[in-house]
Structure 1
Amino acid sequence: MTTFQSAHRTFKNYFVLPIAFLLFGISCSTDATTLLDEDDSISEDVEETNDDTPSDEEVDTSGAVVFDQDFTLDATRTVANYVLSQADYAQFLAGDGDITMVAEKAYEYLDDDFDYIIILSVEETQPSGLFYGRSHLIQNQVQGLGTGVYNNAASYGSAGKLKSIIYMPRTEYISNGPFLHEIAHSWGNKGIIPSTVGGHWGFASTAGQLGGFDQIEDLGNNTYRGSLNGQNGFGTFANGGNSVVYGALELYTMGLIGPDELGSIQVAVNPEWTQNAGEFTADAITTYTAQDLINEHGVRVPSVSDSQKDFKALTVVISTAEISQEQIDTISANLENFSRQGAPDGSWGSLKNFWLATQGKATFDFTVAQESIQ
């Protein structure tokens, strides 16, 4: 770990970049790119046979599954709809929805086969004052990330599989983001590098879903300018919704690359924004190598050769009345695009799905298998 410190120190007033600036020229065709509100947050609780038995292919899985009058699964087996009371639904829009209630409802009818439960409201516009997405971290079984190992899955009705519950108030955020961002919170930033932006990378050369720049220029007098993709400016907590792929540190924490593929990371010490695009002051810039991170936090266990690469999620759309077939079709199409092992279709423009964001190193599956239905 090395630290560079300029000879003079000049501090300027803190300046928060406006949300519009954080888009910094990203082109997504006509698709809207949604950034995280600064209130984005993480909640962490420390061959064919001749017998009469049908094969998986022969099981009739056509048609929607009606578990009860308020909980159904659509015919594609990708979209569950949970109809809530007005009061319970309103609590989600107030930022205090009962995610345990949703999880326990799902586990009444479905087995504990999902790494994630994704809860989506059906709001047509972003609710005023509400975060764009929130990750509730249920467990961590990975060592070397800067936090301990824990498992609170039982508190949500899971026998131990559930890793995270993600809530987003609009179904469009599957494609626009912050979906990729919220998934990244499963592994970062749990303290693997220092940051003044809790749970995010902050002022660092991380260039990923959780923020950071890819280039830094020393302007003298303890003043620096960060840029991303050739444009002055960067986000400290997000970098443009699903238009951005995962950075190297994110891929490392996810277990998708090894330390040999992780370059050095520059982190600003006591950074403060100035009023110029991408410009900030800092006491110093500290450089962390992969070995520095290992020395401080230990090796990542499981390693890249043993880490999980394929993830399953249950999508639960909450509403106060049964959602329409048109809504189901749109949501299902976006889930298919997000989980596709290849580029999404043209309706996504230049937005990235999970496969692209991970450079084809991991998959995400939303299909509820027949065997997962109790």
Structure 2
Amino acid sequence: MNHNSTAILRISASFCMLALIYSALLSGCTNVYVLPDARIIQHFKTFVVMDTSKTDFGANESRVIALCREFYRHYEDEFDLLVLMAHNPYKIMDQWEIGRRATMSVVRNTELGTGSSVIDVGKTFGSEHRLRGVVSLVHPDRIFAESLLLHEILHLWYTDLEVIPRVMSSHWGFSSVGGQLGGFQRDQLRSLGDGKYSAGNFAPQRARTSVPYSPLEMYLAGWIPPEEVPDIWVAEDGSWLMHDKSGEERQHQTDENGNKIFTASRISTWSIDQIITKLGPRTPNFEQSQKEFRVAFVLVTDSRVSIQESELEATELFIEQFTKKGPVSAWFKDRTRETIHNFWEATRGIATLEVGELWSYRR
């Protein structure tokens, strides 16, 4: 089974599970589907700590729902986004699934002309009117590490609809979109002949290094006009060129600069006008779209290992820097020793996250 098929199966399974839970909860048949227990045990300025039997919510939609419902027992429905972070003191990055360190559950979408269908299952999650999505992170440091939170937030506008032809669901694949959801920069694309290409150090499904949102991503989110989106080069059937070594795993073939080579036989160029024809105009447009988002963070523990004060302080620092209305502090960048962007930087200062005094929204 190829990567694209696996991704589609995961998405289909998630929607089926959500539909099952939603139907059971609406029918009042608590004996049909019982949600796991969860309870808030600490309240802080920018996040809360919640206890549940397992921190497997990244691969368990029912636990995500249980955590959200517990949150809304204590807080008003005034948040666009909830971010669940596993208390993972030993940093076991594959505790959910191999390679799966973050997920997005799209809860509510009323916008048209994006890569996400209209949906509203908010009541299942405990939200009557506002919650748009729930991000699950395998560790609080993933707020910045691997740009996972920036990546997952963008999935609010690109989940199940095809924006451009691609080989993997809800990601940009082998294209020149070059954003948080994958792809490369057009100026790095090289034709090597015989249907072979290289395009620098990129990944089809994520940003290899922290980058701002690309113009197409910014357009889908409603933050820039369509005129600012350049044409996009697309390898519709792109795949990595691999070779076998005797007694070893298959390896990527690379060019003389060490960049991976991919092959493609179907190449197309997509303009923003073609994308709008396909999806319909973005509604609301960039002038009227939402640009301020209120977010709440939840640190989830199973209480088997006590949370240290240093972990609470680090979590607060990650949240503070990510939601800052301005660049990430220089001293914080020096501490992380890698290129990072917070939400304000990734959106060119056009959109912001509000975290504020969480206690002011207590019921």
* Coarse TM-score class (shorter-chain normalised): 0.7 to 0.9
- Structure 2 stretches lacking a partner, 5+ long: 20-37, 242-252
Query: What's the secondary structure of 1:192's corresponding residue?
Result: coil
Corresponding residue for residue 212 of structure 2: 245
1:57-103 superposed Cα distances (whole Å, 9 cap, x missing partner): xxxxxxxxxxx9743211xx211000223xx33x3376566101000
1:236 aligns with 2:221: no
Give the letter aligned to residue 134 of structure 2: I
Which residue of structure 2 aligns with residue 49 of structure 1? Answer: none
CA contact (8 A) 1:93 1:169 kept: yes
In 1: Cα distance, 2:143 partner to 2:94 partner: 16
- For 2:23, the equivalent position in structure 1 comes to none
Q: Within the alignment, does 1:81 sit opposite 2:49 as a pair? A: yes
CA drift at 1:320: 2.3
Quote the Cα distance in structure 1 between the aligned partners of 2:40 and 2:204.
Answer: 40
Question: What amino acid is the match of 1:361?
Answer: I
User: How far apart, CA to CA, are the structure 2 residues paired with 1:288 and 1:360?
Assistant: 27
Alpha-carbon distance in structure 1 between the residues aligned to 2:58 and 2:152: 18
Read off the aligned partner of 1:185 and give its amino acid letter. Answer: H
Matched residue, 1:333 = 317
Matched, 1:156 2:125: yes
Alignment pair present for 1:262 and 2:229: yes
CA 1:233–1:326: 2 relative to 1, 3 Å: closer
1:316 partnered with 2:283: no
Instruction: Tell me the alpha carbon deviations over residues 259-291 of structure 1, each in whole angstroms, 9 at most, x when there is no partner.
Output: 011110111121121122332111221111111
Displacement, 1:361? 0.8
Give the aligned partner of residue 194 of structure 1. Answer: 165
Q: What TM-score do the two structures reach when normalised by structure 2? A: 0.78
Distance 1:372 1:249, change over 3 A: same
The aligned counterpart of 1:218 is 191
Distance in 2, Cα, partners of 1:308 & 1:336: 21
Higher RCO (C-alpha under 8 Å, 6+ residues apart): 1
Partner of 1:99: 64
Q: Take 1:309 and 1:146, find their aligned partners in 2: how far apart are those partners? A: 18
**Residues in 1 aligned to 2:46 and 2:132: alpha-carbon distance in whole angstroms:** 19
How far apart, CA to CA, are the structure 2 residues paired with 1:69 and 1:97? 15
Cα distance change on mapping 1:209 and 1:93 into 2, 3 Å = closer
Aligned to 1:363: 352
Total equivalences in the alignment? 308
CA distance in 2, matches of 1:318, 1:297: 38
Whole-Å Cα distance in 2 between the matches of residues 369 and 81 of structure 1?
Answer: 12
Partner of 2:86: 121
Q: Which amino acid aligns with 2:290?
A: Q
> 2:247 — aligned with what?
none
Per-residue CA deviation, residues 237-274 of structure 1 (Å, 9 max, x unaligned), is: 01235x22111111111111110111101111211211
* Structure-2 separation of matches of 1:69 and 1:238: 34
- Percent identity reads 27
Q: Give SS of 1:280's match.
A: strand
Asked if 1 retains the 8 angstrom alpha-carbon contact of 2:81 and 2:294, the reply is: yes
What is the alpha-carbon root mean square deviation over aligned residues? 2.6
Contact 1:212 1:236 in 2 (8 A): yes
Could you tell me how far apart the structure 2 residues matched to 1:347 and 1:299 are? 40
Question: What amino acid is the match of 1:71?
Answer: I
SS at the partner of 2:144?
helix
2:30 matched to which residue of 1?
Answer: none
Report the 3-state secondary structure (helix = DSSP H, G, I; strand = E; otherwise coil) of the residue aligned with 2:42: strand
Contact in 2 for aligned 1:79/1:328 (Cα 8 Å): no
Question: Deviation of residue 147 (structure 1)?
Answer: 4.2
Matches of 2:272 and 2:43, distance apart in 1: 45
